[in-house]
Structure 1
Amino acid sequence: MTETQQDRPERILAPAYAATTIGMFALIAFVAFEAMAVTTVMPGIARELHGEDLYALTFAAPLASGVIGTVAAGLWSDRRGPALPLVLSMVLFSAGLVVCGTAPTMEVLVGGRLLQGLGGGALTVGLYVLVGLAFPPRLQPSVFASFAAAWVLPSLFGPALAAYVAAHVGWRWVFLGAVALVALSALLIAPAVRGRGDHGATQGAPLSRLLWAALAAVAVLAVELLGSARGVTGLGAIPAFLVVVLSLRRLLPPGTLVARPGLPAVIGTRGLLSAAFFCVEAYIVYVLQEDWGLTAGRAGLALTVVGVIWAAASQVQARLGPRVSNTGAMRVGTALVLTGATLLVVSVVLHLPAVVAAASYVVAGAGMGFGYPRTGVAMLDESTDEDRGFNSSALSIADSLGAAFALSVAGVLFDAADRSGADPFATVFVLAAGLGVVGVLVARRTSAAGAQVA
């Protein structure tokens, strides 16, 4: 009996952790379903609303605005715990879904996506802080792996269901139907956040971080809006880029932009992983439809396979535990993302069979599954109760701004290549491969932060 009782805390579904685990799993799963669905139907939405020029912005917008939600939730969590940030994040996310579902134009839809991002950013930080408070370090890799596993069912059924709904009911219900799922997740997660109020932190980060976050979000979106403009207006992207860099210096730990060994390199690796991978993901369904003539449903199968592979790779890294260091996992992850992006460039340029292009994306997904969770583990290894919210916020900021900035640049390059007669999809995927190269180099400098899983 004694041995059984001692073993129970070693499992994330042991009685002490089951309610928290299930609640977080459900919330991630429902949000994942919406993300998979939107990625599948967005090319069709852009065509119907005559907003192809804003296609990349519909993905960059929620990531950029998510930085504001991330910083606000980080400040709040350090002071009062993750409970209220989680609740408000779901309200904002639902409001964004309603705006998107009723949008008459692409511009309004982008506005709804901005609201979604505010909620999504706060949600990420709330969950990370909750993991740090509720689970001992030895269980945290398994918790993060469960987050990836929560994408499996949405990956299996989300793309196909979204394509069916868009074809037979209308794409608007892809957004509006997800509101009910978020409401259900709120009921499921309520027991998990109960009692997770003020956890004793007495000092928080300055509120000026919110201003820098807002400035960064605006600047990231301005890079695409100005960079895609013709003539002198396009030069406005240069100061916007400088504002992004200045904002990041204020929002991330010192040394992040130069990949200082340790925590700064961990944060940088997270940003580069997201930047490279989500450049690929945002355009994979689009390119499979445009270059290979696949339907939304068939193209969405790539998302399905990647969801399963991502979750499987996450489980592998969790089971390996201390046998693979955090740095080792991040190095493998970045290398696989680089390999996938490079193969995708070759597939598009040589117009190889569609299955090769999809398989390239799957390789990148495996890299995310193996390396991405360890960025969270390494960050928590370097955190205390006083700065866990700040560091969680920084990790999510690098994640969101890295992907948002890459997508903004991708949108500019896509338009420029299209106007010049070059292959716009190949251009975007070359950008992803370049970011992958930098990610591989930065991952090598993370060894000072948690070389082993605690």
Structure 2
Amino acid sequence: MTVTSSPETGAARRRAGIMSQPYTATTIGIFALIAFNAFETMAVTTIMPTVSRDLEGFALYALAFAAPLASSVVGMVAAGAWSDRHGPAGSLVTSLGLFTVGVLVSGLAPSMSVLVAGRVVQGLGTGALIVSLYVVVGVIYPARLQPSVFAAFAAAWVLPSLFGPGVAALVADVLGWRWVFLGIVALVALAGLLVAPVVPGLRRSDDGRPPTPRSRLVWAALAAVAVLGVELAGSRGVALAAAAAAVVVVALRPLTPRGTLRAGRGLPSVIGTRGLMSAAFFCGQAYIVLVLQDRWGYSPGAAGIALTVVGVVWAGMSQVQARLGERVSSETAMRIGSAVLLAAVIGLWLTVRLDGPGVLAGAAFVAAGAGMGFGFSRTGVAMLAASTGDDRGFNSSALSIADAMGAALALAVCGIGFDLARGAAGDPFLVVFGVAIVCAVGAVVTAARTPVPVSPG
């Protein structure tokens, strides 16, 4: 196996940081790619209530978030297989193309259903991008620098967090929400130019290893369709939605390390912790802007401030865990992060239940970001530590699949619960944040099982 980017060797590289000469171009390219993806997330989350009202598609609100997460699984599996065999260069380029097409379709959508279709295509590109970047980190950077790289992933969210919600709200108000999507295309082009110098060095010679079985792509597609089916089936009965959820679980088994679904110790629980933390947090992120507008009368721009602060806090706590380095193990960081996340979503639920001030709801969501910043980044470090050159692509894919499918499935359940509660004259936001609490409890349990078992003798 040959990757043309040279590994770290010698005393100089042992002292090098992620912005030193051997890594400068790669770090800048990765930062740009994460940043434009972050801006899209912040901007679209801010304007989605407006989009749903304008397209008269509020019934598909949760699906607009779940759809790209679900379809990203297919992109993740394809990118993991491609990277293991040929290196991450090709999947990086393809992911940018798919993302661009999806954003254009969403921006020009005449109806909510077409917008959801565009989000599906966009998700394919996002999934391939994230896995490709994890493989790049494992190939290019030594283990001692990987916590700093993942902290840079979080830091790349700072500027989009500071300006994304406000800019999106302003553009939507002055020019219309479509220009938020169309403007993102320019950011994709800019990121592509920045990452272009890195791509040729990431190609891998074909060393004759067998291709990844096509069955994995079939399982990924089945899992994605089943997740979307959970919410769509919810309108026809909870039993049908539960059957679709069971299909998701079956489809995930061959896409993750053995023992993941039963929270086996070590790598399986690292994967599980990633998925459950993602599920809990993104239930909050998808609905925090909506609840602040609906319950407390905030404007889109004012409600988006919660997204701004949480992005900064997430990045800040990620820097803290990176500076602590080996003084705090990845397993400890995941346990602390998941516990903080659980306390935060409980606080958010209580604020809604007791009709507390909106600022307190926003503060609880910000605390959830602190937990994610401290523990979530370490799931990537722990995964790479348990991987080899032969399975790094598969494990990177599995980690990202857990991330996306955990959030997508939780959001689908939130969508069903939201509609049922609203139809029964209940409080739909209590259901949504209740789902987040259940997921956070699961993350605390799996985080306690992440230490790798020590073989006797």
Q: Which TM bucket (shorter chain)?
A: over 0.9
Does residue 400 in structure 1 map to residue 407 in structure 2? no
| Residue number among 215, 219, 229 corresponding to 1:212 in the alignment | 219
Provide, for residues 275-329 of structure 1, a one-character-per-residue CA deviation record: whole Å limited to 9, x for no partner. Answer: 0000010000000000000000000000000000000000000000000011100
| Residue number among 383, 391, 397 corresponding to 2:395 in the alignment | 391
Partner of 1:93: 99
Partner of 1:49: 55
CA distance in structure 1 between the partners assigned to 2:89 and 2:193 by the alignment: 13
Partner of 1:441: 445
CA distance in structure 1 between the partners assigned to 2:168 and 2:433 by the alignment: 25
CA distance in structure 2 between the partners assigned to 1:333 and 1:170 by the alignment: 38
Write the letter of the residue equivalent to 1:58. Answer: A
The 3-state SS of whatever aligns with 1:421 is coil
Equivalent residues of 2:13, 2:22 under 8 A apart? no
Partner of 2:65: 59
Partner of 2:283: 279
Equivalent residues of 2:49, 2:290 under 8 A apart? yes
| Residue number among 235, 239, 249 corresponding to 1:228 in the alignment | 235
CA distance in structure 1 between the partners assigned to 2:440 and 2:16 by the alignment: 35
Provide, for residues 89-148 of structure 1, a one-character-per-residue CA deviation record: whole Å limited to 9, x for no partner. Answer: 000000001000000100000000001100000000100000001100000000000000
| Residue number among 295, 299, 320 corresponding to 1:316 in the alignment | 320
Write the letter of the residue equivalent to 1:314. Answer: S
Equivalent residues of 2:317, 2:373 under 8 A apart? yes
Map 1:405-424; keep pairs closer than 5 Å.
405-424=409-428
Equivalent residues of 2:106, 2:118 under 8 A apart? yes
Write the letter of the residue equivalent to 2:285. Answer: E
Equivalent residues of 1:266, 1:449 under 8 A apart? no
Does residue 23 in structure 1 map to residue 67 in structure 2? no
CA distance in structure 2 between the partners assigned to 1:234 and 1:272 by the alignment: 22
Partner of 1:325: 329
Write the letter of the residue equivalent to 1:217. Answer: A
Partner of 2:40: 34
Partner of 1:294: 298
What is the CA distance between 1:198 and its match in structure 2?
1.4
User: Structure 1 residues 8, 379: CA separation in 2 closer, same or farther (over 3 Å shift)?
Assistant: closer
Question: Runs of 4+ in structure 1 displaced over 6 angstroms?
Answer: none
Partner of 1:68: 74
User: Structure 1 residues 5, 388: CA separation in 2 closer, same or farther (over 3 Å shift)?
Assistant: closer
CA distance in structure 1 between the partners assigned to 2:210 and 2:154 by the alignment: 32
Aligned length: 444
CA distance in structure 2 between the partners assigned to 1:315 and 1:219 by the alignment: 37
Write the letter of the residue equivalent to 2:310. Answer: V
CA distance in structure 2 between the partners assigned to 1:239 and 1:193 by the alignment: 43
What is the CA distance between 1:234 and its match in structure 2?
4.7
CA distance in structure 2 between the partners assigned to 1:352 and 1:234 by the alignment: 32
- TM-score normalized by the length of structure 1: 0.96
- TM-score normalized by the length of structure 2: 0.95
What is the CA distance between 1:199 and its match in structure 2?
5.1
What is the CA distance between 1:204 and its match in structure 2?
4.1
Equivalent residues of 1:149, 1:311 under 8 A apart? yes
CA distance in structure 1 between the partners assigned to 2:274 and 2:146 by the alignment: 17
The 3-state SS of whatever aligns with 1:352 is coil
RMSD: 1.4
What is the CA distance between 1:228 and its match in structure 2?
2.5
Provide, for residues 7-66 of structure 1, a one-character-per-residue CA deviation record: whole Å limited to 9, x for no partner. Answer: 774310010001100011011111111110000000011011111110000000000000
The 3-state SS of whatever aligns with 1:291 is helix
Equivalent residues of 1:78, 1:203 under 8 A apart? no
CA distance in structure 2 between the partners assigned to 1:10 and 1:142 by the alignment: 12
What is the CA distance between 1:426 and its match in structure 2?
1.1
Provide, for residues 202-259 of structure 1, a one-character-per-residue CA deviation record: whole Å limited to 9, x for no partner. Answer: 2443111000000000000100000133xxx553213211111100111111100110
- Structure 1: stretches of 5+ with no match in the other structure: none
Partner of 1:104: 110
- Structure 2: stretches of 5+ with no match in the other structure: 1-9
Equivalent residues of 2:67, 2:116 under 8 A apart? yes
CA distance in structure 1 between the partners assigned to 2:228 and 2:285 by the alignment: 19
The 3-state SS of whatever aligns with 2:408 is helix
Does residue 196 in structure 1 map to residue 202 in structure 2? yes
- Among the aligned pairs, what percent are the same residue? 61
